Structures are given as structure tokens and as C-alpha cells.
Structure 1
Amino acid sequence: MDEVKVVVAHSERATLRVGDVFLKVDADQARIDVEVEAMALAPVPTPEVLWRKPPVLAIAALPGTTLGRLGGPSTGSPTAWAAAGAAIRKLHDAPLPLRPGRAGRSIIALAAELDDECELLVTNGVLPADLVTRNRQVAEAALRPWTPAFTHGDLQIAHVFVDGDGVTGIIDWSEAGQGDALYDLATFTLGHEEHLDDVIAGYGTDIDLDVIHAWWSLRSLLAVRWLIEHGFDPFSPGCEVDVLRSRM
């Protein structure tokens, strides 16, 4: 019998692996709806949906390995990172899905959420005030008008699989929808700034680096408390708090 491996688990959802099958358990069926719909529309390789019986979605494992993870070393070559950039560009150029995604929150709503979170981080003593203030200043550059694109919405490097120098698939589409393309690029390179040039080379167009830096700060500020509350450690080397410190 294949071993059951817990890939990730917290109060909102869990993902288990049994052999070559991933079982995603999510109490919010709307997230699963978004994921299935996005995988069907995305013009990049995605996992095969094997079956669905709420609250469980079963998908096939992808060939290859991930490019790495936040807080860990990258296992991919510069060519592989560039190939990922080209795949992301293909996604962003695709016809828009109907739904707004996580990367598509309004500027006003996002600014209000960010200000509230910054206040809580300081008031609760989670992060020093100067660190929060500086990164809130950096994050301001992300709060600008943008042209909607087909975005993944949670494009961590652990969600992109490669085999050699080619992309074999992208997983975890529950936050997909219309959004800011630079949010995806920033999420993908978060904590791996050394590969940003490779990704941009593959993406194939000029990128406003100030906005990428802004999204690194903004995403990290919004993530720290959630990660702590759900059993993760944003203070681990190379993770969100180190990303915030790098902007000082």
C-alpha cells in the first residue's frame, strides 16, 4: 500500500499524496471550483483532474521537480527559471477568465487591508515599527492602476514543476483569475531575488522592478501573522521576515 504523505495542512485546507495521486481537501468548494475552472482554461501544463467528490479533489502528480521553495535553495538552472518566465508570460497573455483573482483586489481595498495589517503587526509586537514602516513605504509602488491579466494568484516556486530545463506543469490554482501580472512575477521570485533577471529574460518584456519590490514587501507584510496563526514560521531564514529585512 502506498504511504500517505501530508503535503500541507492547516485549518482551511489540506493536501495529501498517495502514490501518484494528490488529494486536496477543502471545506470551501468555491476555491475548488476556481481551481478546476482555471486549470481547464490555462494555456500552460496543469495536473490532470482524476475525480472530484466534495470536499475532495483528486489530481495526478506532475513529472519533474519544483524549482525550489521559499527559505531553501533553488534546484533549477537559469535556463529553467527563464522557461518558467516564458510559461508565466503565456498565461498572462491568455484570454481573461471571468472571475477576479487574488491578484485582482482593488487598490483601495488592498491599501486598507495593508494599513490594518501593518498596525496589527506593530501593536501586537510581531515586527519592529521601523521594519513595518519602511516596507509599507516600499509597498506603495504596487498600489497603482494595472491592466488585467490571467493570473495564477499564488505562484510560489514550489508550485512550478520542471524536468531539466522545461516546465512540466503548474499546480494550486485556487486563487486564479483576473489580476496584476506583476503580482505573479513577484510571488514567483519572492526570496529568490537572484533569479529575477532569469525570469524576466524568459518573460520577454520590460518589468517595473520597483513594483516587483513593492509586491515582495506587500505580500510579506500581509502574510506574516497568517503564517504564524496557521503553524508556519515566517522568521525562518530566507522567508518573509528576511524578505522584509532586505528592503531596509
Structure 2
Amino acid sequence: MDEVEVVVAHSERATLRVGGVFLKVDADRARLDAEVELMSLVPVPTPEVLWYRPPVLALAALPGAPLGRLGGPVTGSPAGWAAAGAAIRALHDAPPPPRVGRAGRSIERLAEELDSEGGRLVADGLLPAALVARARRVAEGAFRPWPEAFTHGDLQIAHVFVDGDRVTGVIDWSEAGRGDALYDLATFTLGHEEHLDDVLAGYGTGVDLDVVRAWWALRSLLAVRWLAENGFDPFAPGCEVDVLKFLTGEGRWADRLSRG
């Protein structure tokens, strides 16, 4: 008899696996509707929709395995990471959809969020003020105009499945829409900078690495408190707090990043 596996769960949505079926439960009907629609538009493989009865979306399991997870081991070969880069490029080259995604928030809104979160991180004692200030200076590199692309919006490596050097599918399109392509690349390589060259081998040229690093800092600063309040650990080795330290010269990537 198949067991029920909780893949991820928090106050906004949850994903369960029962045998070869994933059940995604989302309290936001509009977001779930948009996910189903956008999955039908993307030029990359996605899970088969078995049925959709809001608030539940049933998806077929994908072959292969996720590339890994933030703070944990990775399973993909260099060729697998390059294939993922090529798939991301295909997505970004597709006609952008009408919906603005998470990667398309305005500079003004991002600056407001960064001000608010930075202040709360310090006030709540989660991060020291000096680290937040240094990371903020890095993050501000993402504040610039960008050409709109079709973006995933939450392109963690756990959402990309590969089998050898082939991408078998990309999951979790709830944050997809128009946005900054470099936000996706930064999300995908967050905490796994050592694979950035492999990803870019598949993705191609035209990538401003300073902006990718800025998005690493911005995404990490905005995520730390939410993660800590929802049962995740941004302080685990290789996760968001380590990324902030690396970017501000306190961690193992500092020398390489300064030469990039």
C-alpha cells in the first residue's frame, strides 16, 4: 500500500505524494488556476495534469530525480546542469505571458520589501545589522530595468528533474509569469555557485554575473525570516545565511566571487 509523503507544507500550500501521483493543495484558487494555464504554455517538459478540482491539483510523478536541494547533496552531472541551463533558456526565450510573476516585481516594490525585511531581521535578532547592511549593498545591483521574459519565479534545483543529461520536467509553476530572467538563474544556482559555469554552458551568453549575485543576496534577505517562521532552516550549511556571508566576504566563495 502506498504511503502519503509530505513533500512540502506551509500555511500557503502543501504538496503530497501518493505513489506516482503528486497532490498539490493551494488556498489561493487564482494562483492554482494560473499554474495550470502557464504549465500548458511553457516550452519545457512539465508533469502531466491528471485532474484538477480546486483547491487540489493532481500531477503525475516525473521520471528521474531532482537535481538536489539547497543545503543538501546534488545528483546531477555537469551535463545534467548544462541541460537544465538550456531548458531555462528555452523558457526565457518563449513569449512572455500576460501575468506578472514573482520575478517581475517592480524595483519600487522590491526596495520597499528589502527595507522592511532588513529592519525586521535586525530588530528580531535574526541577523546582525552589519551583515544586513553589506548584503543590502550587494542586493541593490538587481535594481535596474530588465527585458521581460517568461520566468518560473521559484526555480529551485528541487523543482528541476533530470535523468542523466536530460531534463524530464520542471514542477511548481505557481509563481510563474513575466519577469527578470536573471532572477530565475539566481534562484537556480543559489547555494550552488560551483555549478554556475555548467548552467551557463547550456544557457548561453548575455548573463551579467553581478546581477545574478545581487539576486542571490536579495532573495536570501527576503527569505530568511519567512523560512525561519515556517519550519525551514535558513541557517543550515549552504543555505541562505551562508550565501549572505559568502557574498559579503565571510565565506568560502569570497575569493572566487571577487575574481568573477
TM-score range, shorter chain: over 0.9
> How far does residue 207 in structure 1 lie from its aligned partner after superposition?
1.0
Which residue does 2:252 correspond to in 1?
A: none
Residue 120 (str. 1) matches residue 114 (str. 2): no
- Secondary structure of 2:247's counterpart equals coil
Q: Residue 242 of structure 1 aligns to a residue in which SS?
A: helix
- The 3-state SS of whatever aligns with 1:172 is coil
- Map Cα deviations across residues 18-46 of structure 1 (whole Å, 9 max, x no partner): 00000001111111112101110000000
Deviation per residue, 1:152-196 (Å, 9 max, x gap): 000000000000111000000000000000000000000000000
Equivalent residue number for residue 27 of structure 1: 27
Mapped partners of 1:9, 1:123: distance in 2: 27
Q: Distance in 2 between the 1:189 and 1:27 partners?
A: 29
Residue in 2 aligned with 1:2?
Answer: 2
- CA deviation after TM superposition for structure 1 residue 143, in Å: 0.6
Look up the match of 1:109.
Answer: 109
Q: Counterpart of 1:211 in 2: which secondary structure? A: helix
Inter-partner Cα distance in structure 2 for 1:79 and 1:193: 16
In the TM superposition, what are the counterparts of 1:212-227 in structure 2 within 5 Å? 212-227=212-227
Using the TM superposition, give the Cα deviation of residue 69 of structure 1 relative to its aligned residue in structure 2, in angstroms. 0.5
Which residue in the other structure is 1:241 paired with?
241
Alignment of 1:31-180 (within 5 A): 31-180=31-180
**Paired residue secondary structure (1:41):** coil
Q: What stretches of structure 1 move > 6 A for 4+ residues in a row?
A: none
Q: Where does the alignment leave 5 or more consecutive residues of structure 2 unmatched? A: 249-260
1:195 counterpart residue number:
195
Rounded Cα–Cα distance in structure 1 between residues aligned with 2:244 and 2:204: 27
Deviations 1:75-102 (A, max 9, x none): 1111110100000000000011110000
Query: 1:206 offset after TM fit, Å?
Result: 2.6
- Identical residues among aligned pairs (%): 78
Distance 1:12 1:199 in 2: 31
Amino acid at match of 1:150: F
For residue 227 of structure 1, report the CA deviation from its aligned partner. Answer: 0.4
Q: Secondary structure at the match of 2:126?
A: coil
Q: Deviations over 1:191-228 (max 9, x none)?
A: 00000011111001131110000000000000000001
Structure 1 unaligned segments of length 5 or more: list them.
none
Give the aligned residue type for 1:105: R
Question: What are the Cα deviations for residues 48-68 of structure 1, in whole angstroms up to 9, with x where unaligned?
Answer: 000011111100000000111
Quick one: distance in 1 between partners of 2:207 and 2:162? 24
How far apart are the structure 1 equivalents of 2:176 and 2:148?
Answer: 12
Letter in 1 for 2:31: R
2:139 counterpart letter in structure 1: A
Code of the residue aligned with 1:114 in structure 2: it is L
Aligned partner letter, 2:23: L
The Cα of 1:73 is off from its aligned counterpart by: 2.0
Give secondary structure in 2 for the equivalent of 1:169.
strand
Q: Residues 201-212 of structure 1 correspond to what in structure 2 (within 5 A)? A: 201-212=201-212
RMSD: 0.7
Structure 1 residue 118, shift from structure 2 partner: 0.5
What SS does the corresponding residue of 2:174 show, helix, strand or coil? coil
Question: Whole-Å Cα distance in 2 between the matches of residues 115 and 188 of structure 1?
Answer: 24
TM-aligned CA deviation for residue 229 of structure 1: 1.0
Instruction: Give the letter aligned to residue 84 of structure 2.
Output: A
Q: Secondary structure at the match of 2:155?
A: coil
* Residue of structure 1 equivalent to 2:253: none
In structure 2, C-alpha distance between the alignment counterparts of 1:44 and 1:207, rounded to whole Å: 20
TM-score normalised by L of structure 2: 0.94
